[in-house]
Amino acid sequence: MTPAHGQISALVTLISDATKIVESYYEKSSKPYIPSLDDIEPHPFDNEILGKELRNAIQTIEGACAQLSATVARPSHTTVNRLMGVFESSCLNVAVRFKISDVLKEKREGMHISEIGQKAGVEERKIGRVLRCLSSKHYFREVSKNVFANNRLSIQLLSSNPLSSLAFHFTDEGMKSSAFLSETLADPEWGHSYAAYHSAFNKYTKYPGPLFMYYENTVQGLMLITMQLAKAYPSLKLVLQDLPKRIQQAKNEIWPKECPQAIQENRIRFEPIDFFNQPPVDYCTIYYLKNIIHDWPDADCIKILSQVKSAMGPHSRVLIQEYILQHANRVPNDQSEFEQAPEPLLPNYGAGRIRQYNLDIDMITMLNSEERTGGEFIRLGEAAGLKFTKVWDIGELGLVEFSLP
């Protein structure tokens, strides 16, 4: 084990080296600078798919900074701060619920809490305290005493940004359900009932169930991805499958507006499906499932994959694109599914890839399901009669490939 003082120097070196990589990429971009937190104008990298080197550098900085802080601070200090982390989510919920980012958009230079409170319908001193807590976490900024403005992070919470809906889910439903995590683990039957309740709630309210689509002779995936493929690769023949109401919405509302050419050229078919009780369109070259398997417990996943297997042809492939969890213990590189982070970082990048582990807990509490390791995906595929082919490391989400035996 490396002594603590050696770890500190090594972590600082990792941060320094990774920072140089990030700076070099930004210098080559069309806007050759790294935006500050006060900058609310979008940068080209904000919506770009980052290459592996840049992505790893950013994850190294995130993971090493968090590990460095945990190493040098008193353990009681770190523990208490993390125990109080729930209040960050509570404050973000307030910001989203009362559309504070939208209110502040009216005055880029900043707005006094008296005006913010009036426009948002919240007592001014209390909203000021919430915003001060968030500003200390780098959401919003206090430009002068009790005067707050948007910044690079808070602008993501505008109601026009779909991310605000995700923020509300995590800070409302997600946070409330995660409060019952210990009960779920202590009493499995209670947990199943609670998860079933949420599954039904999502089905019959405004939160749609998972989408499931197939691309004939190419790929299958979510509605947005289907459309992206149709626009980028006009030679593809696509089949989109989902629950009947979603298919009607796609066929009659979304695609005619967003991608009419694919309909006119007969490159897209719309087919309803109940993926537990019927197979998809048969003999597709690739069946692509993105963020579907993680919504379901193992037994249901095996049913879904079994239905897909029954539709496959000799040359068909199944591609499952989701987070692929890595363990936090270091193993020999030839035994690891993915490239491990450099020492002394945790091999899974720790805080640099914390999103997938947070989402795993969300899956436990909301749906009685889970994010999975590569080995767990392989086990599910084999239980459905599929042959594991390869794990692709293609970005934040991994890709697990199966074929017929």
Identify which of 2, 9, 8, 10 has the alpha carbon closest to the alpha carbon of residue 341.
10
Strand 398-403, strand 324-325: pairing: unpaired
Specify whether the CB–CB gap between 21 and 34 falls below 8 A: no
The helix (run of H) or strand (run of E) holding residue 388 is strand 387-393
DSSP string, 268-328: EEEEE--TTTS--STT-SEEEEES-GGGS-HHHHHHHHHHHHHH--TT-EEEEEE-EE--S
**How far is residue 294's CA from residue 285's CA, in Å, rounded to a whole number?**
23
Residues forming beta bridges with residue 121, ordered by sequence position: none
Catalytic annotation on 294? Answer: yes
d(CA 326, CA 336): 9
CB 146 within 8 A of CB 131: no
Residue 117 token pair: 């409170």
Instruction: Provide the β-strand partners of residue 321.
Output: 290, 399
List, in sequence order, every residue forming a beta bridge with 372; answer none if it has no partner.
324
Within the chain, how many helices (H) and strands (E) appear?
A: 18, 11
DSSP letter at 153?
A: T
Contact 362, 185 (CB under 8 A): no
Catalytic residue of the set 5, 294, 315, 327: 294
* 375 sits in which H/E element: helix 374-383
Residue 389's SS3 state is strand
Q: Using only C-alpha atoms, what is the Rg of the chain?
A: 23
Q: How many Å apart are CA 275 and CA 251, to the nearest integer?
A: 19
Residue 136, SS3 per DSSP: coil
Q: Which residues are catalytically annotated?
A: 294
